[in-house]
Structures are given as structure tokens and as C-alpha cells.
Amino acid sequence: MRCSTICRHGCAIRDGPTSTRHRLGQGTELDWLRRLVSYWAHEFDWRAWERKLNALNHFTWDGIHFVHQRAASGRGVPLILTHGWPSSFLDYLDMLPMLEDFDVVVPSLPGYGFSPRPPEAGINYRYVSERWHRLMTELGYSRYGAGGNDFGSGVSTFLAVDHPESVMGIHLTTLESDLTPKVDDAELSDMERSTSQ
């Protein structure tokens, strides 16, 4: 759909009842929505984002979209990065220039970005981590690091738990509460105890 088509169809917002005290449960506040639509139609630089996206190396494998940036040296440490929910591979776009010593793989979760919706329900950390492990194996990486945020933290954790022979380390920017390890306080050193409180 072209930007002009979006503007023709999206800029016409019906007036609704007005209230001095708006509650989100009653729908979107109309003035805010008008400003948002106007921004997307008249100010957002769609072409700049097209150029950014087109500069990346996009691939698909088994219904999964991913960006693959190889290290210039040809000897990069393989690294797979998983975005959160709801989000997209764009979370890592600004990091790619800082990771030039790595072979970086940034997949789109099933149903996000350019990955189509999965045919079945029940997508979870383990399901995605198995897909990512197969992807890294298909790309020729027998050992790799993994990183993630939000849902991606859970995926990266299960990659390490289920494939310790392949995952050399993980970096998590959030801990998923159901994956946080339970540690007996008596097993901690004094320093560990002081930093955990």
C-alpha cells in the first residue's frame, strides 16, 4: 500500500463523543489518534526506513525471516539475537555496526516482522529455541553465542539449557520470571548475598 493510499484512508477519522475525562477502556482519545495518523502520513520518513532495511542482508529459512551480518574478517564469532514480544528484529538494528567482529543472526519470531504467522498455536520459548538451533546448524555454526530481551531471554535460556554443546554463552537483558533460578541463600558467598538484596 502506498503512503498516499494510507493517507487517503487513514487520515479520515470519525468524530466520536467527547469527554473531559477520557478513559482508555472507552477507546483511543481522538486528538491523540489524529496527531499519530498525521505524523505517520506527513512526517515519518518512510523512504529512509526503506533504505535502512534494504541495506541489510535478509534471508528466509523454513518460514523464518532473519538478518545475517557476517564479520568482515570472515572469522566472526557466531551470535544469534532474539527480540522480545511484541517487537521485531529492528530492536537490534542500531547494534549491528558495534558487532562487526561477530557473525550476527537476527531472526524474526514466528508471526513478527517478516516471519509469517505459524500454522499452529502454542509457540513458546522451547519451540522457538529449537527452530533457532536448527537455523544456526543450517548456517554452518556448530558453536555460537545467544542473546535476547523479553521473550528472547527465554529463548536464549532454553538454547543454553537444551544445547550446551553448541551454546558458548548467553547474554540476557531481562530475566523471565518463570526461568529465574531458585538459589538457597545459604549457598551464596558473602559478596553474592550482598549484591542479591
Which pLDDT value is given to residue 131? 96
User: E-strand spans in the chain?
Assistant: 58-61, 64-69, 77-82, 102-107, 144-148, 167-172
Can you give the pTM of this predicted structure?
0.76
Q: Cα 95 from chain centroid? A: 13
- Cα–Cα distances (Å) from 74 to 56, 61, 69, 77, 103, in that order, read 17, 22, 11, 9, 8
Q: What is the pLDDT of residues 65-75, one digit of tens each?
A: 999 999 999 99
- Mark the ranges of the chain whose per-residue pLDDT is less than 70: 1-26, 176-183, 195-197
What was the pLDDT predicted at 2? Answer: 47
Distance CA 11, CA 65 (A): 31
- Domain residue ranges in the chain: 55-179
CA-CA distance, 150 to 172, in Å (whole number)?
8
Residue 85 is predicted with a pLDDT of 85
Residue with cell 539475537: 81
Whether CATH 3.40.630.10 fits 55-179: no
Phi, psi of 60 (to 5 degrees): -130, 145
> What was the pLDDT predicted at 29?
85
62, exposed or middle or buried, with CB in 10 Å at 0-12, 13-18, 19+?
exposed
Question: Pairing state of beta strands 144-148 and 167-172?
Answer: parallel
